[in-house]
């Protein structure tokens, strides 16, 4: 096990488009997942992507078995390893997929929070570390977490998705004003 340093915004490795995983159930992949889990747990994160520990692969983990102290009121998202993901935004019937805005933080953007638009409802597909297929349709917080983590694989950090920078600030200052 290893708790890895988490790269911070400004590090160019966070801006790469990550490479797909080509070999599943390998020692190297299992070691990477263990490092991600240990690092996420140590930082009380809601999710972590391989590029955040400097690994250029399409691997994210998210979710918890118990409530997260950083997001005590958030609904539980099942603990998931997601590899080579594909996200499809879903609308109701023929309608364009709708968006919600809500607060997000990121272990690579420490101390800050911002209000970020995300698709309300998505289908996501991919594989776990054994190569078994994952196919889920989710909404709300679960959909937000998946979009945030997978964005790390496309070189996107949440401030790059924001539209209103008046809704961006330091956690302690935002809490003091509420």
For 134, phi and psi rounded to 5 degrees? -120, 135
Least distance in angstroms from the C-beta of 42 to Ni ion: 15
61 contributes a contact to Ni ion by CB under 5 A: no
Q: What does the block give as tokens for 167? A: 């809704």
Nearer to Ni ion, 32 or 109 (CB): 109
Q: In the chain, which ranges are continuous DSSP H helix? A: 27-42, 140-151, 171-176
Least distance in angstroms from the C-beta of 60 to Ni ion: 9
Instruction: Show the CA angle centred on residue 76, arms to residues 70 and 99, nearest 5°.
Output: 85
User: Under a CB-based contact definition with an 8 Å cutoff, are residues 164 and 115 in contact?
Assistant: yes
Q: Which of 61, 83, 106, 116 binds Ni ion (CB under 5 A)?
A: 106
**Quick one: which of 39, 56, 68, 38 has its CA closest to 145?**
68
Least distance in angstroms from the C-beta of 52 to Ni ion: 7
For residue 156, the cross-strand partners are: none
149 is catalytic: yes
Nearer to Ni ion, 40 or 106 (CB): 106
Nearer to Ni ion, 36 or 106 (CB): 106
Nearer to Ni ion, 56 or 92 (CB): 56
Tell me which stretch binds Ni ion (CB under 5 A): 19-27, 64-72, 101-109, 138-146. Answer: 101-109
Least distance in angstroms from the C-beta of 29 to Ni ion: 21
User: Under a CB-based contact definition with an 8 Å cutoff, are residues 6 and 107 in contact?
Assistant: yes
Which residues sit at the interface with Ni ion, rule CB under 5 A? 106
Q: Which amino acids are annotated catalytic?
A: 149
């Amino acid at each position: 096990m290893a708790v890895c340093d988490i790269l911070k915004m400004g590090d160019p490795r966070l801006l790469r488009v990550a490479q797909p995983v080509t070999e599943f159930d390998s020692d190297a992949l299992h070691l990477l997942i263990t490092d991600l889990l240990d690092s996420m747990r140590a930082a009380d994160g809601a999710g972590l992507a391989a590029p955040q520990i400097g690994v250029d692969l399409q691997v994210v983990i998210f979710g918890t078995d118990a409530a997260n102290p950083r997001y005590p009121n958030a609904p539980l998202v099942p603990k998931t390893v997601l590899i080579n993901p594909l996200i499809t935004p879903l609308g109701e019937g023929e309608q364009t997929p709708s968006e919600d805005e809500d607060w997000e933080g990121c272990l690579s953007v420490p101390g800050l929070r911002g209000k970020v638009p995300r698709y309300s409802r998505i289908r996501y597909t991919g594989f776990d570390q054994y190569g078994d297929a994952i196919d889920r349709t989710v909404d709300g917080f679960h959909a937000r977490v998946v979009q945030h983590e997978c964005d790390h694989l496309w070189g996107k950090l949440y401030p790059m998705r924001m539209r209103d920078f008046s809704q961006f600030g330091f956690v302690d200052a935002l809490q003091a004003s509420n």
